[in-house]
Chains A and B, each alone.
Chain A
């Protein structure tokens, strides 16, 4: 079955520290990969996406992610976090082999940035 695994359910960090949120997906021929952020009482907002081309993808708010096909990973990174980055982060994948596209989400990682 197609799946997405976010290895950490919670990640606490201090302000201005670097952070990496990990995401692995089931092996497949072709995938589209996404990271979304959800602030409290809000919907999801797209941070970045990988469709093809360069494996290093830059997104909004200083986030970036690297697609690693051999390790089937798409980890999210930020070199220096702010208090305002406190939110839940979701990795999502579309397996593009068939004709029906569905967004499959990971269970989410709660990032808490402490002063």
Chain B
């Protein structure tokens, strides 16, 4: 089985722009979660989608949004980018969600905001 894929792998944007990141889960997985990783804050949970519905959300401003399509692929959008949004964005997929299920992580998208 192919693993979790994330596109693009690297992205450079300027302040005020918006960005969309994509995540394709492992075939058969219906849950996709997103995380932000920064040197200062570490790994922080953004949100989880399951069967096209947001099931859980972390403590991030409304500029961070996401969605999931019927094929379980997910996108994450960040509007009005700030310098502090520079981070590695990881997505993870699992069969039934964030619980006892093993989360399989993608390689991440490294976003740099100038």
A105's partner among B42, B97, B107 (CB-CB below 8 A) is B42
Overall SS of chain B's interface? strand
Q: Are B43 and A46 in contact (CB under 8 A)?
A: no
Q: Which listed segment binds A: B66-74, B75-83, B98-106?
A: B98-106
Q: Are A43 and B45 in contact (CB under 8 A)?
A: no
Q: Which chain A residues (99-115) contact chain B, with CB distance < 8 Å?
A: 100-108
Q: Which residue of A lies closest to B4 (CB)?
A: A43
Does A23 interact with chain B (Cβ within 8 Å)?
Answer: no
Does A44 interact with chain B (Cβ within 8 Å)?
Answer: yes
Q: How large is the interface on A (under 10, 10 to 19, 20 to 34, 35 or more residues)?
A: 20 to 34
Given contacts A104-B45, A107-B42, contact A96 B99 (CB under 8 A): yes
Chain A neighbourhood of B4, CB < 8 A: 43
7 closest A-B pairs (Cβ-Cβ)?
A43-B105, A105-B43, A44-B105, A107-B42, A101-B98, A101-B99, A43-B107
Could you list some 25 contacts between A and B, CB below 8 A? A42-B108, A43-B4, A43-B107, A43-B108, A44-B103, A46-B102, A46-B103, A49-B100, A49-B102, A51-B100, A94-B98, A94-B99, A101-B97, A101-B98, A102-B48, A102-B56, A102-B58, A103-B33, A103-B45, A103-B98, A104-B45, A105-B42, A105-B43, A105-B44, A107-B42
| B interface residues (Cβ-Cβ under 8 A, vs A) | 4, 33, 35, 42-45, 48, 55-56, 58, 90, 92, 97-100, 102-108
